[in-house]
Amino acid sequence: MTQALHPLAQRFRGYFPVVIDVETAGFNAKTDALLEIAATMLTMDDDGQLKPAQTLHFHIEPFAGANLEASSLAFNGIDPYNPLRGAVSEREALTEICKAVRKAQKDAGCQRAVVVAHNAAFDQSFLNAAIDRVKLKRSPFHAFVSFDTTTLAALALGQTVLAKACKQAGIEFDNKEAHSALYDTERTAELFCYIVNRWHQLGGWPAPLVAVDDDDVELNHSELAEADD
């Protein structure tokens, strides 16, 4: 008897969306410290409604030789060496996140995790740089594919700023809590779910069946395989 696919495994071409937010000591992922990271995993019910699930959150010790830009620290209000932060190493944080993501991804029947973030290129670059630094094996995350809620919010809501997009979507947003990786991740997860679910409600998913030529199908499969290499 064939086991039915989890609805999430059918929604994003087998990708498992994980919402990520980072707080950093600058804009250069190779040289500037990663100071905080949060990751929210998502689930989907039988009606196709996407919902936030488990969230992991870590304060992180600056890696050896990391650059700390004073302007960035003033902006996010982080004191990297405050013992009350309870900071852990990059390796410990990423190991725990990747372990949880792999389990949730497997449970959902998905093949690979994909970063969802607001201005995703920034968060993904710091995540990838940290994974490279600690030489973490078996990262579940796709190296370059991401879902950017900045773009999605511009399309769906006419807003690109996270706080304004949340307000437009009816999601509570406290500016005093912003620029915390935990808070921003949870709000971004709500925003992403809102946009995906709204598209579903409007009849945009499941996508209408369109007849295609066999040659086009073969070409598309070939292009997808090359993109995943």
- Successive 10-residue mean pLDDT values, the chain, 229 residues: 74 96 98 98 95 98 98 96 96 98 96 97 98 94 97 98 98 93 98 97 83 50 47
Global pTM value: 0.89
Residue 179's pLDDT is 87
Active site residues: 179
- The phi-psi region of residue 135 (left if phi > 0; otherwise alpha if psi is between -120 and 50; otherwise beta) is left
* Per-residue pLDDT at 163: 97
Whether 32 contacts 66, CB under 8 Å: yes
| Structure tokens given for 160 | 């690109």
**pLDDT of the residue at 226:** 47
pLDDT for residue 227: 47
Structure confidence at residue 68 (pLDDT): 98
CB-neighbour burial class of residue 42 (10 A; exposed 0-12, middle 13-18, buried 19+): buried
Q: Which residues contact 71 (CB under 8 A, 6 or more apart)?
A: none
d(CA 141, CA 119): 17
Q: How many CB atoms lie within 10 A of CB 216?
A: 9
Q: Is the distance from CB of 50 to CB of 191 less than 8 angstroms?
A: no
